[in-house]
Amino acid sequence: MAKKLDIERILCKQGFGTRKQCRIMILNEEITVNGALCDDPDTEFSLENLHFTIRGEQWDYHAQSYLMMHKPSNYECSHKTQHHPTIYSLLPHPLVERGVQCIGRLDEDTTGLILISDDGQFIHRMSSPKHKVPKVYEVTCKHPIDDTQIAHILSGVQLIDEDAPIAALACERVNEHVIHMTLAEGKYHQVKRMVAAISNRVEGLKRIQIGQLRLPDDLNVGEWRWLSDQDIDALSTS
């Protein structure tokens, strides 16, 4: 049997305010559930395929949040920022209230695919070094990249403060100045440091893939969306 909860608790768990605030919205007839007005905070609903509107805005029930975002440049992946806006300002407030966290931070000047969730187990599986989830970066370099430099990246470069050389899982040249580099680690400024180690410099950096999940062409910079079942499957096979 599908689990049921009263609408007041449902809205509270979905990040729409305290139980008191949610009760007031319900009593003020600001809520519809599955297309019908609901003005009783104690009315119970099945959580399966549940959708509702809050002051006319459509929402679907999600037990937990699994999101992707096309991160813009000059945004920080932190709730407490220092110099730039936070990526969480690009999300609806109820999702932020649910305590979502980005999975692996991108530097403020790095763009591309980032995952966001409030599922601790999912966050751990996608970010833990022991799971070695591959990530693909599109790297624009200041100077032309030659075969010798690519071979060096694949065989391993020595970084300061690292005991052993660090190698990319894959490195493909897209054109004279652009490569696609695949890494399993997430060390501090790793791509930039690896490119510097081959006497070049990163001019632009964009993450285009995590596991088997690619950044969708139709997800514009600054936009976000819920992960689909197919997206989750793509990450599960990583």
| Residue in 195, 180, 202, 1 with CA at minimum distance from that of residue 109 | 202
Contact 127, 104 (CB under 8 A): yes
Tell me which residue has tokens 């009593």.
27
Long-range contact set of residues 37-42: C-beta below 8 Å, sequence gap at least 24: 38/7, 40/7, 41/6, 41/7, 41/8, 42/6, 42/7, 42/8
State the Cα–Cα distance between residues 166 and 153, nearest whole angstrom: 8
State the Cα–Cα distance between residues 10 and 44, nearest whole angstrom: 9
Element (H, E) at 116: strand 111-117
**Distance set, CA 54 to CA 35, 49, 198 (Å):** 11, 17, 54
pLDDT value of position 2 = 67
Q: What is the value of pTM for the model shown?
A: 0.91
Q: What angle do CA 143, 151, 107 make, to 5 degrees?
A: 55
Per DSSP, the three-state class of 229 is: helix
Phi, psi of 37 (to 5 degrees): -60, 140
Gap between the terminal Cα atoms of the chain: 33
Of 6, 40, 60, 107, which residue is the catalytic one?
A: 107
Contact 171, 184 (CB under 8 A): no
pLDDT value of position 130 = 82
For the chain, domains (ranges, CATH) are: 4-60 (3.10.290.10), 66-129+213-236 (3.30.70.580), 134-210 (3.30.70.1560)
- Which structure tokens are listed for 68? 């992707």
Q: What angle do CA 82, 87, 89 make, to 5 degrees?
A: 95
CA 227 to chain centre: 10
Q: Detail the DSSP E strand segments found in 20-153.
A: 31-33, 36-37, 44-46, 51-54, 57-60, 66-71, 101-103, 111-117, 135-141
Catalytic-residue membership of 107 = yes
Per-residue pLDDT of the chain (238 residues; tens, 9 = 90+): 668 899 999 999 999 999 999 999 999 999 999 999 999 999 999 999 999 999 999 999 999 999 999 999 999 998 887 788 999 999 999 999 999 999 988 999 999 999 999 999 999 999 887 888 999 999 999 999 999 999 999 999 988 888 889 999 999 999 999 999 999 887 888 999 999 999 999 999 999 999 999 999 999 999 999 999 999 988 987 6
Contact 211, 232 (CB under 8 A): no
